[in-house]
């Protein structure tokens, strides 16, 4: 008799006892215990079976030995797709939008492109890059459509206050929110290479990560700053910053705007955008004893900051313009998927010239939900 059959028999015995009119407590308790014991045996057997299955077969274990490291970059993701394609005289490769994949990637067999690969350098040295940090200042969101409508919170009228017993309480009112529509823009670019390089995985990896993706990141960075300073609705300071302003004047102005950001939005400033030329002026400023305010050139800040607020030094911001903001809580980069990469040798006359075109693109927009969380400091030109 199997364990499940014993359980069924114990249940039937319990039903029989329940139907008796002269059943005793001892009979009922004994029947219940028999069911519980049988159920425990069945559960233990099921658990043991699941544990054995989790060990896997010898074939499964062999597969695990072939598992390789997951793609870490967009270039590695693109190469993984290339290695699985069976490319003839003409080809078109479409790599899906890159994300942190969870599927197991296996080392390719000697079919398709892999059969013709002469080298496979797994230790790719990426080209040097300027840090692309502006995007990281903002929050991040994903949508499936091409347009986003969000509500920009209205001004707060009134405030809570201490009131005496029986006195009229103050009202707090939020002005009607304003619906804001932003459409995702497509940022795209391409590079051309000899199509013999389709078999050079190390080159493809570095071409995508070290050149194509870097130039894409620069374009995205410039677009985000342009949108923030252009159509987002953020305000500018009302004080003056002129050619005669000293470094301490500018530093004081930045702190003043940081306080305004916190007072107006309720969030402390978490970032400052500044052009390298303006940052240089602040960084080399000295006091009356010829001591650098920011420390001498044999030491320095691990992370550039002013008043404890991280500074992002970038050419995406023009000289003479500084942005202080609560970036993370007050604005987000909204994207539809990630960066996608495609390659083909059938574009224009690529096929007859043995060239391939590699294209990357991404759809995104900047959504500034609280313009009060930003302040733009602009240098005034005097005549």
Q: What is the CATH number of the domain that holds 340?
A: 3.30.2320.10
Structural domain that includes position 163: 134-196+223-378
Q: Phi and psi dihedrals of 97, rounded to 5?
A: -55, 130
111/109 Cα distance (integer angstroms): 6
Question: Which of the listed residues 55, 71, 86 is the one where a domain comes to its end?
Answer: 55
pLDDT tens across 173-224, in order? Answer: 767 778 888 888 889 988 888 877 777 777 777 777 778 888 888 899 999 9
* CA dist., res. 136 & res. 324, Å (int): 15
**pTM as predicted:** 0.63
C-alpha R_g of the chain: 33
Whether residues 161 and 291 fall in one domain: yes
Q: What integer pLDDT is reported at residue 321 of this predicted model? A: 93
Cβ–Cβ < 8 Å for 306, 272: yes
- Which is higher by pLDDT, 122 or 222? 222
Encoding tokens for residue 225?
Answer: 């700053």
Angle at the Cα of 282 from the Cα atoms of 276 and 286, rounded to 5 degrees: 145
Residue 277 lies in a domain: yes
Task: Write the pLDDT tens digit of every residue in 324-336.
Answer: 999 999 999 999 8
Percent of residues, the chain, with pLDDT higher than 90: 23
Last residue of a domain, one of 18, 40, 55: 55
Assigned domain for 87 exists: no
Statement to judge: residues 140 and 267 lie in one domain:
yes
103 within some domain: no
97-131: string of b/e by CB count within 10 Å (b at 16+)?
bbeeeeeebeebeeebbbeebeeeeeebeeeeeee
Does residue 262 lie in a domain region?
Answer: yes
149 and 271 within one domain: yes
Helix, strand, or coil (residue 74): helix
Asked whether residue 315 is domain-assigned, the answer is yes
Check: CB of residue 350 under 8 Å from CB of residue 192: yes
Residue 67 lies in a domain: no
The pLDDT of residue 342 is 85
Q: In whole numbers, what is the pLDDT of the chain averaged over residues? A: 79
Domain contains 17: yes
Burial of 175 from C-beta contacts in 10 A (0-12 / 13-18 / 19+): exposed
pLDDT score of 61:
53
pLDDT score of 382: 65
Summarised one tens digit per residue, pLDDT across range 22-61 is 878 888 888 888 888 888 888 888 877 777 766 655 555 5
Backbone phi and psi for residue 326, each to the nearest 5 degrees, phi listed first = -95, 80
Q: Which two tokens stand for residue 278?
A: 């303006």
11 pLDDT more than 60: yes
In a domain, 74, yes or no: no
Residue 272 has pLDDT above 90, yes or no: yes
Q: Please tell me the total count of domains within the chain.
A: 2
Nearest to 205 by CA among 87, 83, 114: 83
As a whole number, mean pLDDT of residues 152-169 equals 83
Q: Strand pairing partners for 140?
A: 333
Handedness of CA 66, 69, 70, 71 (dihedral sign): negative
């Amino acid at each position: 008799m199997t364990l499940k059959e014993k359980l069924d028999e114990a249940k039937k015995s319990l039903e029989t006892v329940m139907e008796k009119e002269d059943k005793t407590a001892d009979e009922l308790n004994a029947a219940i215990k028999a069911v519980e014991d049988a159920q425990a045996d069945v559960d233990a057997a099921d658990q043991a079976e699941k544990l054995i299955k989790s060990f896997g077969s010898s074939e499964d274990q062999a597969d695990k030995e072939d598992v390789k490291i997951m793609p870490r970059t967009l270039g590695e993701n693109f190469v993984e797709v290339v290695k699985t394609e069976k490319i003839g005289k003409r080809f078109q490769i479409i790599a899906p939008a890159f994300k942190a994949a969870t599927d197991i990637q296996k080392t390719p067999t000697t079919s398709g492109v892999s059969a013709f690969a002469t080298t496979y350098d797994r230790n790719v040295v990426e080209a040097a890059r300027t840090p692309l940090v502006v995007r990281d200042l903002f929050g991040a969101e994903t949508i499936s459509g091409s347009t986003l409508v969000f509500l920009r919170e209205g001004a707060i009228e009134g405030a809570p206050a201490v009131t005496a017993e029986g006195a009229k309480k103050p009202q707090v009112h939020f002005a009607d929110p304003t619906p804001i529509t932003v459409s995702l823009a497509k940022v795209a670019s391409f590079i051309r290479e000899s199509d013999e390089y389709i078999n050079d995985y190390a080159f493809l990896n570095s071409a995508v990560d070290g050149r194509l993706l870097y130039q894409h990141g620069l374009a995205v960075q410039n677009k985000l700053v342009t949108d923030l300073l252009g159509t987002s609705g953020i305000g500018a300071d009302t004080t003056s910053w002129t050619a005669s302003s000293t470094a301490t004047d500018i530093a004081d102005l930045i702190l003043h705007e940081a306080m305004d950001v916190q007072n107006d939005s309720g969030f402390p400033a978490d970032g400052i955008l500044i052009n390298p030329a303006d940052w240089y002026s602040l960084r080399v400023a000295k006091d009356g004893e010829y001591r650098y305010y920011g420390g001498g050139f044999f030491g320095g800040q691990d992370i550039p900051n002013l008043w404890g607020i991280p500074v992002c030094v970038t050419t995406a911001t023009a000289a003479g313009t500084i942005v202080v903001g609560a970036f993370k809580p007050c604005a987000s980069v909204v994207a539809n998927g990630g960066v996608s990469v495609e390659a083909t040798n059938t574009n224009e006359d690529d096929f007859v010239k043995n060239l391939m075109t590699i294209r990357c693109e991404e759809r995104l927009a900047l959504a500034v939900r609280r313009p009060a969380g930003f302040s733009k400091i602009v240098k005034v030109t005097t005549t």
